[in-house]
């Protein structure tokens, strides 16, 4: 890219970037209001479902003594999986100095924060006695994977918030300075406070870069742990279908697939809604597509290992489990996830056409849906087939069927996650203004100038 | 927390005579209702089992009712020097299900909740089906206690795996971890919850049950403390169960009350443990179902 040299050009270019990237914040139309109304309504209905559940007990769900983990835990695993895209995009790719990933990283953090926050909330919703959550701190046993999970989920959330916030600081100062009277007063005040007295001098930038680098390195072990430990919730048991040694990496790679597809969808929505064609270009989708193929191929490799090896042996209990997946009641979900959600995308996305924004986003929707199916298939079928026969219990104990309350609470988690993403997108620019300016060769000194046009 | 005066205790007892057997101090005096006073040193009392007895007044002591914390403390420790084992003779089981009934009434369980469940098993197409009572196996390498995040389920010195439902957070990780499906959850309000209201929690019987917490077989630890056999063992009409102390190398049959050497019984009977390949090291031994043929279960709900 041509370096912009002259001050006038720099200022002009910066003005354009600022006006482009703050459009999302100033946008006020019916659609925005409608969207927030829908989100809040559904999230509210779900919360009401949870109050019903806390009052009447988990008996309002379709879970039983055999399938004692259901939609909530499947959703928990799904959210943890999706959140891992934050680690991949805003840490690994940045550390590798892959420059196209820069404008994408804030959107990745949106997903990471929303997903991991909801993962934490949904696990509380699954508890029989959420009122005793404090016991985990009073009587916590470090031998239990749940304690490890709690530790890493909260650490990951904290680091993700910092990874979102620190690169935001220069933007906050810049917006408080430069944006015109169309910016509501409370937002300007909020930006000023959150900017923590940022002036944009070299020393401050140096500190910020340093902090970011530390966080980017820190988040790698934490991020890998969060999903590995989540997989251990299952792999630490003796049950067929869970008793597997590759669950850790298998979950991590599956998470990258789910997270990349979620990010592509979000990029497409931002691009369309906020007119960001010049920032999320076709090139970005092309690269994301290639990344998606890469992680999907690794995921395919793990899937082959996870299913082919036990199928070859057909141990008794394992065999029963695999039969339900391959040809039993879960065959549709299973093959959909494997073929439509994994194999076909790998083949299609290798064609240039399918890496264009719209086709890639549509494929990503299918992948994300399959990713959810996959989490359901990891949690539920195993529990329907314990070692000993299920006898002397009501028929409903044999098969898991989620109830409406459960689905309500599940919808809450989805809409609450979308709500967090939407609020972040409405409150702050979805792409780092100063990073784009830096990328275009605009000197940092112009960032802290007051806009001349106003 | 729920320290009770004797008077209150009596009131609660009166309201739940059916539950009286499960209450903390099961000794004669503690479970008596005073009906009539006689002049002099004697007093007539009604026991929880409905008998009238005459007791010397000087023998009357306030009921020894441990407070919740004491109860939990001693419940966590277990009975010193003991090492409980159970031997289930599958050749004797006729699916009478008296064990299940006794267990459910002792531990305040709903009809679909089983601390002990008599399963109809068949190992291969060529072999005969048989009935297999399945309590908690009280493994010496218990997968369930390992995963508990709050130490609400734990292994005692005497071998029993117990639950503290005052602490359980209801995450159900232990249910997922148990390969024997021995654990059940209180998805709804427990059976007869209103009758047990205000009763001090007895960790060794896991009664009163609490909504949103786990329960499972405890070898009737409360009865063991009083020198009685577990409910299921005593209730069996067919002599299926042997129960006793491995340290004493003695097990007693719940039906015949015969006591034999534990080691001899399991050696001579070619006893085995369930799914030993999992490495859980159960404390419940099975004698093979030789000669037992299961007829189709009557009134089977499965």
Q: What is the pLDDT of residues B195-242, one digit of tens each?
A: 888 888 999 999 899 999 999 999 999 999 999 999 999 999 999 999
Average model confidence (pLDDT) across chain B: 84
pLDDT at A199: 84
More confident residue, B39 or A47: A47
Query: Does A329 fall in a domain?
Result: no
Is the CATH number 3.30.70.20 carried by domain B70-287? yes
Please judge whether B147 and A236 are an interchain contact, meaning their C-beta atoms are less than 8 angstroms apart: yes
Q: State the residue range of the domain holding A422.
A: 7-53+69-236+408-447
For testing contact with chain B, the best of A50, A56, A57 (most B CBs within 10 A): A57
Query: Does A103 fall in a domain?
Result: yes
Convert the pLDDT of each residue in A274-291 to its tens digit. 888 889 999 999 999 999
Please judge whether B278 and A126 are an interchain contact, meaning their C-beta atoms are less than 8 angstroms apart: no
Convert the pLDDT of each residue in B26-69 to its tens digit. 344 444 444 444 445 777 776 655 677 888 877 776 666 667 78
Please judge whether B175 and A68 are an interchain contact, meaning their C-beta atoms are less than 8 angstroms apart: yes
Dist CA B89 CA A234 (whole Å) = 34
pLDDT at A360 over 50: yes
Contact predicate A417/A430, CB 8 Å: no
Query: Does A389 fall in a domain?
Result: no
Say what the ipTM of the complex is: 0.89
Contact predicate A46/A409, CB 8 Å: yes
Convert the pLDDT of each residue in A333-358 to its tens digit. 999 999 999 999 999 999 999 999 99
Query: Does A381 fall in a domain?
Result: no
What's the number of domains chain A is made of? 1
pLDDT at B100: 96
pLDDT at B15: 44
pLDDT at B176: 94
- The percentage of residues in chain B with a pLDDT greater than 90, rounded to a whole number, is 65
Please judge whether A127 and B181 are an interchain contact, meaning their C-beta atoms are less than 8 angstroms apart: no
Min distance A194 CA to chain B CA atoms (Å): 37
Confidence of residue A250 (pLDDT cuts 50, 70, 90): very high
Residue in B closest to A126 by C-alpha: B171
Cross-chain CB nearest to A128 (options B112, B185, B278): B185
SS3 B207: strand
| CA B76, B77, B83, B84 torsion-angle sign | negative
pLDDT at A219: 92
Show residues of chain A in contact with B176, CB under 8 Å: 68-69, 233-234, 237, 239, 383
Which pTM was predicted? 0.88
Please judge whether A388 and B181 are an interchain contact, meaning their C-beta atoms are less than 8 angstroms apart: yes
Half-sphere exposure (Cβ direction) of B266: Cα atoms closer than 13 Å: 20
Query: Does A300 fall in a domain?
Result: no
Convert the pLDDT of each residue in A115-167 to its tens digit. 999 999 999 999 999 999 999 999 999 999 999 998 999 999 999 999 999 99
Dist CA B110 CA B186 (whole Å) = 9
Contact predicate A263/A87, CB 8 Å: no
Contact predicate B202/B24, CB 8 Å: yes
pLDDT at A178 over 90: no
- Return the domain boundaries, chain B: 6-59, 70-287
Q: What's the per-residue H, E or C state across B218-257?
A: CCCHHHHHCCCCCHHHHHCCCCCEEEEECCCCEEEECCCC
Report the DSSP pairing between strands B161-163 and B153-155: antiparallel
pLDDT at A185 over 70: yes
A144 touches chain B (CB under 8 A): yes
Please judge whether B177 and A237 are an interchain contact, meaning their C-beta atoms are less than 8 angstroms apart: yes
Residue in A closest to B147 by C-alpha: A144
Compute the C-alpha angle A165/A186/A41, nearest 5°. 80
pLDDT at B116: 96
pLDDT at B49: 56
Residue in A closest to B190 by C-alpha: A57
Query: Does A310 fall in a domain?
Result: no
Show residues of chain B in contact with A150, CB under 8 Å: 149
Please judge whether B213 and A128 are an interchain contact, meaning their C-beta atoms are less than 8 angstroms apart: yes
Contact predicate A392/B118, CB 8 Å: yes
Task: Please name the residue that has the structure tokens 């040299």.
Answer: A5
Min distance B113 CA to chain A CA atoms (Å): 8
């Amino acid at each position: 890219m041509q370096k912009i040299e002259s001050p006038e050009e720099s200022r002009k270019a910066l003005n354009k970037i600022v006006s482009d990237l703050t459009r999302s914040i100033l946008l006020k139309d019916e659609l925005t209001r409608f969207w927030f109304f829908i989100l809040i309504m559904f999230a509210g209905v779900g919360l009401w479902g949870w109050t019903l559940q806390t009052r009447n007990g988990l008996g309002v769900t379709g879970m039983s003594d055999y399938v004692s983990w259901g939609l909530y835990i499947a959703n928990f695993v799904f959210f943890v999986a999706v959140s891992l895209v934050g680690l991949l995009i805003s840490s690994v790719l940045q550390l590798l100095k892959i420059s196209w990933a820069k404008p994408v990283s804030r959107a990745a953090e949106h997903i990471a924060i929303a997903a991991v926050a909801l993962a934490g909330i949904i696990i509380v919703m699954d508890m029989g006695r959420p009122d005793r959550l404090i016991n985990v701190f009073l009587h916590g046993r470090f031998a239990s994977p749940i304690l490890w999970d709690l530790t890493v989920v909260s650490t990951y959330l904290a680091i993700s918030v910092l990874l979102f916030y620190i690169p935001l600081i220069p933007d906050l100062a810049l917006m408080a300075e430069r944006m015109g009277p169309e910016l509501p007063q409370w937002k300007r005040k909020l930006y000023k406070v959150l900017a923590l007295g940022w002036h944009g001098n070299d020393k401050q930038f140096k500190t910020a870069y340093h902090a970011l680098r530390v966080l980017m390195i820190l988040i790698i072990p934490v991020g890998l742990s969060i999903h590995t430990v989540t997989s251990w919730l299952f792999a630490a048991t003796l049950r067929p279908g869970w008793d597997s040694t590759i669950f850790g990496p298998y979950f991590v790679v599956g998470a990258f697939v789910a997270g990349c597809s979620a990010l592509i969808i979000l990029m497409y929505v931002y691009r369309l809604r906020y007119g960001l064609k010049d920032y999320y270009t076709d090139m970005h989708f092309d690269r994301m597509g290639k990344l998606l193929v890469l992680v999907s191929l690794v995921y395919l490799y793990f899937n082959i290992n996870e299913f082919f090896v036990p199928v070859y042996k057909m141990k008794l209990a394992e065999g029963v489990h695999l039969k339900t997946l391959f040809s039993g009641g879960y065959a549709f979900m299973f093959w959909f996830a494997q073929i439509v959600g994994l194999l076909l995308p790998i083949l299609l996305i290798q064609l240039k056409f399918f890496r264009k924004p719209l086709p890639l986003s549509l494929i990503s929707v299918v992948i994300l849906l399959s990713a959810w199916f996959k989490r359901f298939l990891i949690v539920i079928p195993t529990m329907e087939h314990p070692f000993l026969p299920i006898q002397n219990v009501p028929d409903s104990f044999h098969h898991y069927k989620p109830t409406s309350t459960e689905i309500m609470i599940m919808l809450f988690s989805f809409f609450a996650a979308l709500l967090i993403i939407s609020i972040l997108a409405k409150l702050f620019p979805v792409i780092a203004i100063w990073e784009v300016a830096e990328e275009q060769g605009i000197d940092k000194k112009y960032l802290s100038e007051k806009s001349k046009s106003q | 927390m729920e320290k009770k005066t004797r008077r209150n205790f009596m009131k609660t007892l009166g309201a739940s005579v059916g539950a009286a057997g499960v209450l903390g101090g099961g000794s004669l005096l503690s479970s008596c209702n005073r009906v009539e006073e006689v002049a002099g040193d004697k007093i007539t009392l009604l026991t929880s089992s409905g008998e009238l007895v005459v007791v010397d007044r000087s023998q009357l002591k306030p009921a020894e009712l441990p407070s919740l914390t004491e109860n939990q403390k001693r419940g966590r420790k277990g009975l010193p020097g003991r090492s409980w084992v159970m031997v289930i003779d599958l050749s004797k089981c006729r699916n009478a299900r008296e064990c299940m009934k006794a267990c459910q009434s002792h531990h305040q369980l709903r009809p679909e909740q089983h601390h002990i469940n008599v399963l109809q098993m068949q190992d291969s197409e060529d072999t005969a089906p048989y009935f297999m009572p399945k309590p908690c196996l009280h493994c010496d390498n218990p997968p369930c206690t390992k995963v508990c995040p709050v130490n609400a389920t734990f292994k005692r010195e005497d071998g029993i795996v117990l639950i503290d439902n005052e602490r359980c957070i209801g995450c159900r990780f232990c249910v997922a971890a148990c390969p024997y499906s021995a654990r059940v959850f209180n998805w709804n309000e427990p059976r007869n919850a209103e009758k047990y209201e205000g009763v001090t929690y007895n960790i060794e019987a896991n009664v009163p049950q609490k909504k949103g917490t786990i329960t499972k077989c405890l070898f009737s630890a409360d009865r063991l403390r009083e020198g009685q056999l577990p409910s299921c063992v005593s209730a069996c009409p067919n002599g299926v169960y042997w129960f006793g102390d491995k340290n004493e190398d003695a097990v007693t049959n719940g039906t015949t009350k015969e006591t034999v050497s534990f080691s001899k019984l399991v050696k001579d009977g070619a006893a085995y443990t369930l799914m030993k390949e999992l490495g859980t090291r159960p404390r419940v031994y099975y004698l093979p179902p030789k000669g037992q043929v299961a007829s189709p279960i009557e009134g089977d709900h499965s």
